Amino acid sequence: MDGDTRSTTTTAAPAATVTETSDADFAADVLAAGPPVLVQFTAVWCGPCRQLKPVLAALAAEEAGRLRVVEIDVDHNPATTARYGVLATPTLMVFQAGEPVKSLVGARPKRRLRQELADVLDGAGGRGAVPDSAP
């Protein structure tokens, strides 16, 4: 042996994932975030929320750097849930510059979610997309 004691674990940054937030951390995790943040208001008992988990995990990995994805449990975080008028789960809200800019209710496939978030994702690098009617 040459005496090399390096670990076999990797030090590369992990792929973006869906992170959890709470009433206490919502302002720091969502409102003060740089890129747009997609928040899933969820509950452990919610079947459609469980269906949406792999969709959101894939979106978080694919859009790392352009979109953060977080989830908040409505049962354990009633203040944030009430503040944003969430009445059903799953509710997806997009926040930009500390303000909610889009709200979607219900589970959906990744392709449809991407279509519904296109304006947010296209505008994530700048101040909006070019209108379709541009010459």
Asked if 46 is an active-site residue, the reply is yes
Largest CA distance in the chain: 67
| Catalytic residue of the set 18, 37, 39, 46 | 46
CA 88 to the chain's CA centroid? 17
| Catalytic residue of the set 18, 37, 49, 69 | 49
Number of Cβ within a 10 Å radius of residue 58: 15
Q: How many CA atoms lie within 13 A of 22 on its CB side?
A: 3
Label residues 66-85 b or e (16+ Cβ within 10 Å = b).
ebbbbbbbbeebeebbeebe
Number of Cβ within a 10 Å radius of residue 9: 6
Q: Which residue has the tokens 């390096």?
A: 6
Active site residues: 46, 49
